[in-house]
Structure 1
Amino acid sequence: MRLVDSHCHLQADRFEGDADLVLGGARLAGVERLLVPGWDRASCEQAFALAERFPWIDVAVGVHPHDAANVPDEDWPWFVEAAGDERVVAVGETGLDFDRVFSPAEAQLSNLRRNLALALELGKPAVLHCRSAADQRDAQDALLAELGRAGFDDPAAVAAFGGRPPAIIHSYSGPADYAEAILRLGLGVSFSGLVFRAGEEPSAEVARLVPADRLLVETDSPFLSPPGAPRRRNEPEFVAVTAHWLGERRGVDPETLGGQLVASYDHVLPRQRPA
C-alpha cells in the first residue's frame, strides 16, 4: 500500500539516536512523503536538517500554541524568511489549545493570526492544531472565527492557492457539524491515531465526508499511537493502521486508498524541489 505521513515530529527527543532507522522503517512500509512540522525556532531548524539529508521529507515552519508565549517577537522575522524556503510546503504547526494551556489564550490568538497571515501571503497552507477544553468546543469555535477574520472564506484572499486547501486541520477531532464548517472553507482534513480513542467515534462519520483530494493521514509521531504501535513512541510506519481505518470507513480498498492519499498529499502540499 502506498502511504504518506502528513504530520510527524521526527525532531522530537524520543527519536534522538535512531531517526535514520525510523525513516528506513517508514520507507519499507511504503511511506513516500512525510511532513515534519516545527513548533518553535529550534525544532524548525531541526526539521530543515532532516530535509537536507532526506529529500523526500517536507518541512512546515511555524509556532505551536503551546509555545506562543515563549517565542520572542524579534524571532518572528526568522520564521517569515524561513517559510519562503523551497523545502517548506506549509506554515505551522500553529493553532489553538484551550485544553492543555501552556500559553495564555490571548498569546495563542495573536500567534495564530500572524501564522495565518503568513500562510495567505505565501500561498502555503496553514497546519492547524485545535483542541478544546474537556466537553467544550471553545477552541473549535474560536478557530473558525479566526479563519473567517483572516479571510479564509474570501475567494480573493485564498486565490494564491489555486483551488488547493488553504489550511489543514491536523489530527482531526470533533463533531460532524464542525467538519462541515471546515469543509465549506475548503480546508484539508488529516486523521491520526486519535480516531481509535474513546470519545472520538464521530470521526468515523467525518471520515466519510471529506473529499478525496482533501483527505490526509498522519501519525503525529511520536504521539497518538494507534493499535499495534508502541505506546511510548509512535512512528511513521504505523500510519498504515489509520490508513486502513480510513479505507474501511470510506469503503475503499487499500490499494485504491493509498493512491488517493498520495495524490491528495501531492495536491495539498505540492513540492517546490525535486524528491
Structure 2
Amino acid sequence: MTDRLIDFHCHLDLYPDFEGLVADCERRGIYTLAVTTTPRAWSRNRDVCGITRHVRAGLGLHPQLVGEHWREIDLWERYSHETRYVGEVGIDAGPAHFRSLERQMAVFRQILIACSSQGGKILSVHSVRSATKVLDLLEEHLPEDRGSAVLHWFTGSMAEARRAVALGCYFSINRQMLTSDRGMRLVRSLPVERLLLETDGPFTSEDGQPTRPQAVSRTLSDLASAFGQTRDDLRRQLLGNLRTLTEVADPRPSANH
C-alpha cells in the first residue's frame, strides 16, 4: 500500500531519468507538481506528465533565467491556456540576479495578469529576498477568486508571512526549511491548513544525492514533530489542504486543462 504524499515543487525534468522518475511518483502515489524553468520545456513535461494520475506539469519562467529568457514570455502566454498549473515563476532579488529585477517584476506582472484573466490557476512562486514585492504584485493582480499562490521555500519575515496568509497564500515546505531555528519558527507560525510539502529537487540533497520526491516522507515526519501531531494526522491534513487548494473530489491536482 502506498503512503500518499505530496511534492508540490520538484524539477523532475532536470533529473537524468525524468520519465522514470515520473513513473516512480505515479507508482508511489506521490502527488507531484513538476515545475519547469522555461516555456520551452513545457511540451515535453505536458506530454510525459499528462498521462498520469498523480503528476502534473507547471508552466514556468524562472525568475533567475528572466535576464536571458525574458522574450519567452510570449511563448509562456501561448501555452498558458493548456494548463491550470504555473511554476516556477516569481522574483529573485538576490545579488546574482538583482540586475534583472525590473524585468523580472514586469514578467511576473504579465504572468499574474494572464492568470487572473484566465482564472483558476495555481501558481508555485519563488520569492527570494523579494517577498514584499511578490505579495504586492499578487495583491494587485491576482485576487483570491481568480487564482491561488503557493509560496515555494518561503524565507521572508514573520510579518511578510502573516501578510501572505491574509492574502490566501499557501506554503510548500521542504526539509531544509526546518534545519535552522529561524526557519522552524517561521514554519511553526504558519497555519497548518495552508501547508504542503515540496523537495525542490534536484536543488536540494538527501544523503549526498539530489533529493527525489519520495524524500518528502522524511519532511512529513519532521513537520509532524514540529506541530506536535502524529505523522498520519498531519498527512491527512496536508492531503486535505491539497484537496481544498485544487477544489476537486480527490486530493490530487486536476488535469492540465
Cα offset for 1:53?
4.2
Structure 1 residues 144-185: Cα deviation after superposition (integer angstroms, max 9, x where no partner): 2222332x4xxxx33235xxxx21100122332221111111
Q: Residue in 2 aligned with 1:96?
A: 91
Contact kept, 8 Å, 1:90 with 1:126, in 2: the verdict is yes
Are 1:118 and 2:109 counterparts? no
Contact kept, 8 Å, 1:5 with 1:31, in 2: the verdict is no
**TM-score, length-scaled by structure 2:** 0.85
Structure 1 residues 31-61: Cα deviation after superposition (integer angstroms, max 9, x where no partner): 4310011111222223213213434211211
Contact kept, 8 Å, 1:98 with 1:105, in 2: the verdict is yes
Tell me: CA distance 1:27–1:244, structure 2 relative to 1, closer, same or farther (3 Å).
farther
Q: Residue in 2 aligned with 1:129?
A: 126
Q: Residue in 2 aligned with 1:4?
A: 6
Residues 246-257 of structure 1 correspond to what in structure 2 (within 5 A)?
246-257=223-234
Structure 1 distance, partners of 2:238, 2:150, is 14
Tell me: CA distance 1:211–1:31, structure 2 relative to 1, closer, same or farther (3 Å).
farther
Structure 2 distance, partners of 1:46, 1:63, is 15
Tell me: CA distance 1:231–1:45, structure 2 relative to 1, closer, same or farther (3 Å).
farther
> Partner amino acid for 1:160?
R
Structure 2 distance, partners of 1:27, 1:159, is 31
Indicate the SS of the match to 2:10.
coil
Cα offset for 1:129?
0.4
Indicate the SS of the match to 2:31.
strand
Q: Residue in 2 aligned with 1:149?
A: 140
Structure 1 distance, partners of 2:208, 2:113, is 36
Q: What's the C-alpha RMSD, in Å, of the aligned pairs? A: 2.4
Residues 1-275 of structure 1 correspond to what in structure 2 (within 5 A)?
1-12=3-14, 15-16=15-16, 18-23=17-22, 25-26=24-25, 30-71=28-69, 73=71, 75-85=72-82, 88-99=83-94, 100-101=96-97, 104-121=100-117, 122-132=119-129, 139-150=130-141, 152=142, 157-161=143-147, 166-197=148-179, 200-225=180-205, 229-270=206-247, 271-273=253-255
Structure holding more helix per residue: 2
Cα offset for 1:230?
3.4
Tell me: CA distance 1:101–1:35, structure 2 relative to 1, closer, same or farther (3 Å).
same
Cα offset for 1:71?
2.8
Cα offset for 1:20?
4.3
Query: Aligned residues, how many?
Result: 247
User: Mind listing any 5+ residue stretches in structure 2 that lack a counterpart?
Assistant: 248-252
Cα offset for 1:98?
1.7
**TM-score, length-scaled by structure 1:** 0.80
Structure 2 distance, partners of 1:144, 1:52, is 31
Tell me: CA distance 1:80–1:269, structure 2 relative to 1, closer, same or farther (3 Å).
farther
Cα offset for 1:240?
1.2
> Partner amino acid for 2:79?
A
Contact kept, 8 Å, 2:175 with 2:219, in 1: the verdict is yes
Tell me: CA distance 1:110–1:58, structure 2 relative to 1, closer, same or farther (3 Å).
same
